[in-house]
Structure 1
């Protein structure tokens, strides 16, 4: 069996989710200080929600995020939380992002680790920067 979380009296298995999401129209806005601040915000959000970041790679036009979370946390709620908070805060802090009608697309890709190991996904996410 995989890793377990014993936050309460019961033991609950943890889930590993690999998320991929993009800024609207795949604009290359996640660079420089925006990228740094985005990573800080995601780390804060994940810590507040007991989601453990296994790997995170931010490219100018997309994000790979590999999280360790409870099965009670739905992927759509996780994405809504991360996208909602980061969009609001980044647009408040960086005036050039306010020109965009919205920061994120409504869509995202999520894959729960099953047939491939968590180590394999971590290596793939970390290899993103090296590819281009």
Structure 2
């Protein structure tokens, strides 16, 4: 699983930096866009519409 996640992070980081050059200037010190950690969870077979509704109803940081 970790190899898949790291691959997705690498590809998405390269694509985002190509599409949004300002990201390169913003993250130049860290030289990476994503942290080294990741989270994988399960929704217990709930329909995606219910999971989406749950996420949308969560409080957002200010």
TM-score (norm 1): 0.33
Q: CA 1:117 to 1:81, structure 2 compared with 1: closer, same or farther past 3 Å?
A: same
Which protein is richer in strand relative to its size? 1
2:35 paired residue among 93, 96, 105: 105
2:47 paired residue among 113, 119, 128: 119
How far the C-alpha of 1:110 sits from its partner, in A, is: 1.0
4+ residue segments displaced more than 2 Å: 116-121, 123-128
Which structure 1 residue ranges, 5 or more long, are not aligned?
1-73
Q: What is aligned with 2:6?
A: 80
Number of matched pairs? 54
Aligned ranges 1:3-14 → 2 under 5 Å:
none
Which protein is richer in helix relative to its size? 2
Q: CA 1:94 to 1:79, structure 2 compared with 1: closer, same or farther past 3 Å?
A: same
Which structure 2 residue ranges, 5 or more long, are not aligned?
none
How far the C-alpha of 1:77 sits from its partner, in A, is: 3.0
Instruction: Please list the CA deviations of residues 39-97 of structure 1 after superposition, one character each: whole Å capped at 9, or x if unmatched.
Output: xxxxxxxxxxxxxxxxxxxxxxxxxxxxxxxxxxx3x2331222111100111121111
